Structure 1
Amino acid sequence: MALAGLKVIEIAGLAPAPFAGKVLADFGADVVRVDRSTSTMNLDVLAQNKRSIALNLKSPAGIEALIRLCEKADVVIEPFRPGVMERLGLGPEVLLKRNPRLIYARMTGFGQEGHYAKMAGHDINYLAISGVLNERSKSGKGQVVDAAMINGVNYLGSFVYNMNKAGALFQTPAGTGQLDGGAHFYDTYKTKDGLFMAVGAIEVEFYKLLLKGLELDEERDKLPEQTDSSNWPKMKALFTKIFLGKTQAEWIKIFDLTDACVTPVLDYYSMPTPTPAPRLLRTPAKASASNEGSDVFLEVGGHSKDILAEAGFSEVEIRDLVAKKAVAGAGLEKSSL
């Protein structure tokens, strides 16, 4: 597999960091999730192809154990707000001193510095506020990768930003433009059975196919020019009425495999099972065995003993960590080490 042999330490956290770890694991990396030894609940549903070690990061012995694990790792992924890892004694200056080749990947909402740096947030906040990695094989040195979600949203918006700067997009009030809900040919429409279809027929040739599927004729029905925004509200009302006349399945049959750019809006129950991306022909990723029920969860500390042993901890050292309550895991306390 493409990332076979890559060792990754993932500090347990919420969705973005676990997803990054899942991508690496799906492509063959050995991803070890560091859980809290006191954790009684596991909410991570992105744990496929990973292993878990449960450490007490409030214990000096637990901190040192994690540092030793990082000494033999290629990548560490941390999901906390700015300053948390430093307060634990696990900041970049500590880990990179022990392992200069380590890639230290940080995941925050608003970045390490700035007005909102220490504030909690979710997707909608990052969207509201928004306006990589050099391979160490070239230099022999690792580095800090600071990935803030607000910066990611901003970066993904490069196309929109540059188009808007050039005067090609969003020169009208919000909700009245071509791509933000104003145009009748770029929106979603409710169907007879309460489901939805998405329409994205921007180009002229695609728009003509859209009209054909809706059984409309520009000349016969005296339709206005596609780009005449003054008539967009009227056209949107017409499209709304027409789409309500058929079920989603009927519209799928009409538009399927055409270039009209009309597709169904899938719900969580009908969407395809998520698979690793991108697809590699020679070294494909390993698909998750199951995405249902308890199989999506990873037992907290289920691999603690094996992970420590692989990192070079002796039986005496492991027993000492257990005694100090620096590590936990299924069977460790009763283990005959």
Structure 2
Amino acid sequence: MSGPLTGIRIIEMAGIGPGPFAGMLLADMGADVIRIDRAAGAATPSDISARGKRSIALDLKKPEAIDLALTLIAGADALFEGFRPGVMEKLGLGPEICLERNPKLVYGRMTGWGQEGPLSHSAGHDINYIAVTGALAAIGRKAGGPVPPLNLVGDYGGGSLYLIMGLLAALLEARTSGKGQVVDAAITDGVISLMAPTQAYMAGGTWSLEREDNWLDGGSHFYDTYQCADGKYISIGAIEPQFYALLAEKLELDLGQGGYSHLFEKDQWPLLKQRIADKVKTKTRDQWCGIMEGTDVCFAPVLDANEAVLYPHNQARKNYVEIDGVTQSAPAPRFSRTPSSIQRGPCAAGADADSILAEAGLGRGDIESYKQAGAIRYE
């Protein structure tokens, strides 16, 4: 094992979406992530979020399985789950019971709406969570309506990353206090937090609620994507005056050198955007790369997922790795002294039951008795 979280043991209650992704990142950073699955199953190499973890499959309808889960929780530093509020309590694995068993436990709860509130028990997905935060309404073209930004903003930005931040902060605090606590990580809360800079622009009077009417939402001519002669796209982000001047030079266009004044001269944006669009369409994406790439224009080609793997900068940084024939992201961020690494590819659900239980102090006879009771599931 390697990584800054080596020596930290985390229980992941198997689920979907932001929970497994959070577990993957924690495992990449060296944490021993033990996934409690509800059923055994074959390994799926394409299930990238399952990499680096170990698995035990338990029939949580049986009291013997709950006893085993509590035994594992007693030896863990943290646990996280992504069920609707109340599900863990019904299983007999709620925070009160787990913290009684392990007072230092950090108990993470990953939901869309949070543990309380009018919508807390309602079903939802990323698109719904970001819809009520103001984020979705701000993304898209003026004429086309809001555009879902994949499920990056809600599930993974406001969800997984805020869950991890909360878990790690609580783990640090537990080292000094000796006490665990519950981390309520709601996707809506996280996305609203991510909207803080936009809220600041609004408070300062520099942000409109109308889509494609602002300097960072595709409304301005200096921060947008443009289609090239070959149908591919490039991105421009020439916000600062010196970068804007360089953009005009590289495009061989008179865009006016007003610098920051252009941020607020919205009446000029459509004309200048059309002039840039017309110019960009005279060359292919590769030709524009030859002219602008590596300069201070703040330029980059718009790549699809396959092209991104082959992009020279990404290759130089070794941002992708291949495991079991599946190309996937390398661990991030990077640590100078305790580098992260992918410990293993996705394992079969339940594959590590015997070794996990042995580490927890159970003898062969104990493990066999739990097998006979049907508490442990094997494929």
Q: Is TM > 0.5 for Structure 1 vs Structure 2?
A: yes
Contact 1:187/1:198 (<8 A) preserved: yes
**Conservation of the 8 A alpha-carbon contact between 1:18 and 1:44:** no
Q: 1:96 to 1:46 in 2, by over 3 A?
A: same
Structure-1 separation of matches of 2:256 and 2:340:
52
Give SS of 1:118's match. Answer: coil
Deviation at 1:240, TM superposition (A): 2.1
How far does residue 30 in structure 1 lie from its aligned partner after superposition? 0.8
- The answer (yes or no) to whether the contact 1:14–1:44 under 8 Å persists in 2 is no
* 8 Å Cα contact 1:199-1:261 kept in structure 2: yes
Structure 1 residues 27 and 219 mapped into 2: Cα distance closer, same or farther (>3 Å)?
A: closer
In 2: Cα distance, 1:187 partner to 1:126 partner: 26
Give the 4+ runs in structure 1 shifted more than 6 A: none
Cα 1:281–1:146 change in 2 (3 A) is same
Mean Cα displacement is larger for which, 307-316 or 93-102? 307-316
Matched, 1:20 2:22: yes
Q: Sequence identity, in percent?
A: 44
1:144 Cα shift?
A: 0.5
- The aligned residue for residue 151 of structure 2 is none
- Aligned to 1:299, the other structure's residue is in SS state coil
One-letter amino acid matched to 2:131: A
**TM superposition shift of 1:161:** 1.4
Equivalent pairs counted in the alignment come to: 321
CA deviation profile, 1:239-294 (whole Å, cap 9, x unmatched): 222222222222222111111111112211122422222211111111466xxxxx
Q: Displacement, 1:40? A: 6.7
Q: Deviations over 1:16-68 (max 9, x none)?
A: 11121112111111111111125578674212221111111111111111111
Deviation at 1:116, TM superposition (A): 2.0
Q: Does 1:269 align with 2:306?
A: yes
Partner residue of 2:354? 305
Distance in 2 of aligned mates of 1:11 and 1:311 = 17
2:238 to 201, 210, 213: 201
Q: 2:178 aligns with which of 140, 153, 162?
A: 140
Sort the Cα spacing of 1:242 and 1:232 in 2 relative to 1 into closer, same or farther, 3 A.
same
User: Normalization by structure 2: what TM-score?
Assistant: 0.79
Deviations 1:180-217 (A, max 9, x none): 22111111112222222111111111111112222213
Question: CA–CA distance in 2 between the matches of 1:118 and 1:41?
Answer: 32
Q: 2:37 aligns with which of 19, 35, 38?
A: 35
Q: 1:6 aligns with which of 5, 8, 11?
A: 8
- What is the one-letter code of the residue matched to 2:26? L
* 1:243 pairs with one of 262, 274, 280: 280
Residue equivalent to 2:117: 114
Q: Which residue of 2 aligns with 1:88?
A: 91
The 3-state SS of whatever aligns with 1:251 is helix
Amino acid in the other structure paired with 1:321: Y
Q: Distance in 2 between matches of 1:91 and 1:219?
A: 62
Is the CA contact (8 Å cut-off) linking 1:7 and 1:31 kept in structure 2?
yes
Deviation string 1:163-188 (CA, Å, 9 cap, x unpaired) is 32122x31363321222221111111
Moved more, 225-234 or 276-285: 225-234
Closer, same or farther: CA 163–207 of 1 in aligned 2, 3 Å: same
- Aligned-partner residue type, residue 204 of structure 1: P
Give the Cα separation in 1 of the matches to 2:94 and 2:255: 64
Which secondary structure does the structure 1 equivalent of 2:289 belong to? helix
1:315 maps to: 364
Query: What residue number does 2:127 align with?
Result: 124
Selected match of 2:377 from 309, 321, 328: 328
The two structures, once aligned, show a CA RMSD in angstroms of 2.3
Structure 2 stretches lacking a partner, 5+ long: 135-165, 310-319, 321-328
The aligned runs of 1:214-229 (5 Å cut-off) are 214-218=251-255, 226-227=262-263, 228-229=265-266
In structure 2, give the amino acid aligned to 1:2.
Answer: P
Partner residue in 2 for 1:280: 335
Deviation of the 1:75 alpha carbon: 0.8
Q: Provide the C-alpha distance between the structure 1 equivalents of 2:72 and 2:214, rounded to a whole number of angstroms.
A: 53
TM-score by length of 1: 0.88
